[in-house]
Amino acid sequence: MNRIRARILLCLSLLCGSWLATAGAADEPPIRILLITQGCCHDYDFQTQSMQKALADRKVLSEWTVVAEGGKGTEAEIPFYDDADWANGYDVVIHNECFANTDNPEYIRKITAAHKAGANAVVIHCAMHTYRKTKIDDWREFLGVTSRRHEHKSEYPVRVVVDDHPITREIPKDWKTPLDELYVVEKVWPQTTVLATSVSEKDDKLHPVFWTNQYGQARVFGTTYGHSNATFEDPVFLNTLVRGIQWSAGRLK
């Protein structure tokens, strides 16, 4: 408990929230989750609570540190990353933030360096458009996809392309998203495995919507869905997200 208390105190000192899920009685220790969230255009408080509840509902023990800094705009450099060891002590880092106009290469590389050294990650929706303005590709290589825009909201059918992957194998064949945005993926990076796609209603192009990536020593799971609160209430999306968190943390084979 000392470590948990220390982390909560650290978290409070950073003006962020922390939450410990105690549901379940698994033999495994809790998954230590660092959530980076905030920025433009989405209801991050709701999404955070929804993710935490989804793990607890599935009896997945988790210990959360939530860094909700940077405000509601499109540009921020949060002091949390000033410590080069910012990712130490966590099994997985969830990026659910939206800062498209932050473009400082030195700042961005403080983040990607920790991931390349082994900080596993889950990247959600607007994380893909975060640092969109920057010229360097480090963040995009970390994500595993390059995307700079999205298409209109719709209920997009999701087609699983790797049937036996532990993250996506429970997705029903006829699943459609709640009203959500389709992100246009212009590049899939070489270490990326596309797990599922959706098709554009404008030009019939297929875009990855769930994937895994290997970035240096880190396992990365990504999804471009997650715009709306309805998506964060959808049991199939939440189940896939929980499995992605477990997989990235090395708890799902």
Distance CA(145)–CA(128), nearest Å, equals: 8
Segment near Zn ion (CB under 5 A); pick from 25-33, 152-160, 203-211, 223-231: 223-231
Distance CA(248)–CA(120), nearest Å, equals: 6
Closest distance of CB 197 from Zn ion, Å: 19
Segment near Zn ion (CB under 5 A); pick from 28-36, 169-177, 222-230, 238-246: 222-230
Pairing label, strands 62-68, 31-39: parallel
Decide: is 129 part of the binding site for Zn ion (CB under 5 A): no
In terms of CB distance, is 207 or 227 closer to Zn ion? Answer: 227
Closest distance of CB 51 from Zn ion, Å: 16
Distance CA(222)–CA(235), nearest Å, equals: 17
Out of 227, 237, 242, 243, point to the residue binding Zn ion (CB under 5 A). 227
- What's the DSSP call for residue 184? E
Rounded to 10°, the helix 235-248/44-57 angle is 80
Contact (Cβ atoms closer than 8 angstroms) between residue 39 and residue 97: yes
Decide: is 32 part of the binding site for Zn ion (CB under 5 A): no
In terms of CB distance, is 116 or 176 closer to Zn ion? Answer: 176
Distance CA(249)–CA(233), nearest Å, equals: 23
Segment near Zn ion (CB under 5 A); pick from 21-29, 136-144, 205-213, 220-228: 220-228
Binding footprint of Zn ion on the chain (CB under 5 A): 227
